Structure formats: structure tokens, C-alpha cells
Amino acid sequence: MIDIIGNAVLGALGGMAAATVGYLKTESGRYKKLEEFDPEKFLKTTLLGGVVGAVAGAQGVSFEAAENFLTMVGVYGSISLFVDAAAKAIWRNAQRLWKYLKRRF
């Protein structure tokens, strides 16, 4: 039971952080002012984080396991982006090299 409540609190805190960052990143209008604060949106995002945390706790997912999972997602995502960019760079430069060699010889 402690895991569920603890994870729900951590999830709610994460939701609050996400809601705050989401609010601060918004710019609207001609003078790039922040949009009007919407407490309903803030509460929905906070509650969603709490529900996600509670579900994770009910499923037996510890904070450490979730942290490890997110770390691996970040690592694998970064590797995927790197490989994709490298493959595109190699392909584009190979095409340029081929065109150059065809003109030269």
C-alpha cells in the first residue's frame, strides 16, 4: 500500500512539474505573453501524474525500476537518433562523392 501512495505522490509531483513547464513554455498573442493560467488544466495534469504513479505502484513497479526504464528509453532513443543521423550523413555524402567521381573520371 505504501508503494501505491508513494508512487501516486511522486506521479502527482511529476504531473505538477509537467503542468508548470507546459504553462511556462506557452506564448500567445502578438506580444508573446504567457497564456492565462488555467487551474483546470493544471489540476488535470497533476491528477493524471498521480494516477499514473498509483497504477505503477499497484503493478509493483518501484521508483528505481521506472527510473531504470526511463534511462534505458533515453539511451536507446539517443542511440537511435545518432544512428539515423549518421546513416543520413553517410548516404548524402556518398551520393555527393559518387557525383564528384563521375564528373572527374
Residues 42 and 17 in one domain: yes
Q: Give pTM, 2 decimals.
A: 0.57
Residues 49 and 68 in one domain: no
23-56 per-position pLDDT tens digit: 877 766 566 677 788 889 899 999 998 998 888 8
- State the residue range of the domain holding 55: 1-61
Residues 50 and 70 in one domain: no
Residues 12 and 36 in one domain: yes
Measured between alpha carbons, how far is residue 100 from residues 12, 17, 28, 88, 105 in Å? 58, 52, 48, 18, 9
CA angle 19, 22, 26 (to 5 degrees): 140
Residues 41 and 52 in one domain: yes
pLDDT confidence of residue 94: 87
48-98 per-position pLDDT tens digit: 989 988 888 888 887 788 789 889 988 999 999 999 999 998 888 888 888
pLDDT confidence of residue 7: 81
Total number of domains constituting the chain: 2
Residues 76 and 98 in one domain: yes
pLDDT at 1 over 80: no
